Amino acid sequence: MEGQPVQPAPEETPRDANPANVGLELFGYVGIEAVLDQMRIKTMKTGFEFNLMVVGQSGLGKSTMVNTLFKSKVSRKPTGPSYEERIPKTVQLQSVTHVIEEKGVKMKLTVTDTPGFGDQINNENCWDPIIKYINEQYEKYLREEILISRKRKIPDTRVHSCVYFVPPTGHWLRPLDLEFMRRLSKIVNVVPVIAKADTLTLEERAEFKKRIQKDLKAHGISVYPQEDFDDNSDDRILNNKIRDKIPFAVVGADKEHQVNGKRVLGRKTKWGIIEVENPAHCEFPLLRDLLIRSHLQDLKDITHNVHYESYRVQRLNESNRLALSPINGLLGKDEVESDL
């Protein structure tokens, strides 16, 4: 007993103190689930941000679609007959930001439009400005994140979702579509939609969709919802249903008409009124549900956890294997020596 050296050391084993995390039964009500309400209150106070980008040739109804989605004049494109739309010589990106509120939930919505995309005779590299813009947003966020004294809430301008409008040819995807989607699906969530779907009959629509799905698979383009990011089997079932219907055939309209005594959003033509929100007429409700009602948070999460992280990894690796960690940078003796 005498002379036994006692070696004290703080027992710091937070993670594997117990080899298996012990699952315990609660004997009665504790109140843990109140944390959900707390979270809800907090998020309602801070508000949400959502950044959407619409890409497609001019005249496919992008601005109308955005207006229909958010039921307000988000993009102010006058649609009167006297308006002459000038097609810009180069691809430009225009962002408009609005704050919208519904039932106490505030959302800062930013819509980025891309006039001039695919409108030139030679459309080579017309996706470059778009890719540059998206990467610029990632860069901005990265800079804010690695500051020493950084803001409590980093302003998020990263593009959460890119809606790509496919012209309703009824045949296959064009080379421009394939190229664009191939490049962009790697850095952002791409949601392809068939624009102006009222020019296709239901059978033509189904055929077109099947061909598009085959094309996408053949070229290895993974559009949102990506198969790799399904969290659990419930998600997978839900997402599989969505994946069957991608790309949605949508019609946009921002004028209201009278149908059967109700006022509905729709397009009035000589042969009938196409109701935008009628699932039998077009798949706009599905798109809206996907983008806003059910998968908005998921879009943001995938952008943050997957696309932003891969940009960050690439960026940090670029600077000569300079680890962002100050610890690694200084103690990176092993790293550096091994290269020598």
Partner 1 sequence: MASSEVARQLQNDNCRPLSLSGHVGFDSLPDQLVNKSINQGFCFNILCIGETGIGKSTLIDTLFNTSFDDRVSTHFQPNVRLRAQTYELQESNVRLKLTIVNTVGFGDQINKEDSYQPIVDYIDAQFEAYLQEELKIKRSLYNYHDTRIHVCLYFISPTGHSLKTLDLLTMKNLDSKVNIIPVIAKADTISKTELQKFKIKLMSELVSNGVQIYQFPTDDETISKINATMNGHLPFAVVGSMEEMKVGNKMVKARQYPWGIVQVENENHCDFVKLREMLICTNMEDLREQTHARHYELYRRCKLEEMGFRDTGPENKPVSLQETYEAKRHEFFGELQRKEEEMRQMFVQRVKEKEAILKEAERELQAKFEHLKRLHQEERMKLEEKRKLLEDDMIAFNKRKAATELLQAQAFASTPSVSLKKDKDRKKDPGFRLELLCFDVRDHEIVSVQEQSEREKLERDRISHREFQK
Q: Binding to partner 1 (CB under 8 A): which residues in 80-109?
A: 90-105, 107-109
CA distances from 134 to 81, 187, 189, 249, 278 (A): 34, 8, 11, 26, 34
Contacts of 82 (CB under 8 A, 6+ apart): none
Cα 109–Cα 110–Cα 116 angle in degrees, nearest 5:
145
Indicate whether 133 belongs to the interface with partner 1 (CB under 8 A).
Answer: yes
Q: Given candidates 4, 38, 260, 269, which one binds partner 1 under the rule CB under 8 A?
A: 38
Looking at the Cβ atoms of 38 and 260, the one nearer to partner 1 is: 38
Q: Which residue has the tokens 């225009």?
A: 94
Looking at the Cβ atoms of 135 and 213, the one nearer to partner 1 is: 135
151 to 190, contacts with partner 1 by CB under 8 A? 152, 155
- Between CA 202 and CA 281 the distance in angstroms is 9
Indicate whether 273 belongs to the interface with partner 1 (CB under 8 A).
Answer: no
Kindly state the smallest distance separating residue 10's Cβ from partner 1, in Å: 4
- Piece in contact with partner 1 (CB under 8 A), picked from 58-66, 71-79, 161-169, 209-217: 71-79
Looking at the Cβ atoms of 205 and 239, the one nearer to partner 1 is: 239
Kindly state the smallest distance separating residue 244's Cβ from partner 1, in Å: 22
- Piece in contact with partner 1 (CB under 8 A), picked from 36-44, 188-196, 201-209, 241-249: 36-44
Q: What angle separates helix 128-145 from helix 175-184, to the nearest 10 degrees?
A: 10
Indicate whether 17 belongs to the interface with partner 1 (CB under 8 A).
Answer: yes
Indicate whether 125 belongs to the interface with partner 1 (CB under 8 A).
Answer: yes
Looking at the Cβ atoms of 232 and 269, the one nearer to partner 1 is: 232
- Between CA 154 and CA 114 the distance in angstroms is 26
Indicate whether 330 belongs to the interface with partner 1 (CB under 8 A).
Answer: yes
- Between CA 299 and CA 271 the distance in angstroms is 38
Please count the other Cβ atoms lying within 10 Å of the Cβ belonging to residue 218.
9
287 to 316, contacts with partner 1 by CB under 8 A? 288-289, 292-298, 301, 305, 309, 312-313, 316
Nearest partner of 280 among 181, 187, 193, 198, judged by Cα: 198
Indicate whether 79 belongs to the interface with partner 1 (CB under 8 A).
Answer: no
Looking at the Cβ atoms of 21 and 260, the one nearer to partner 1 is: 21
Give the neighbor-by-neighbor strand order of the sheet with 105-113.
Answer: 105-113, 48-55, 161-166, 190-194, 248-249
Kindly state the smallest distance separating residue 136's Cβ from partner 1, in Å: 8
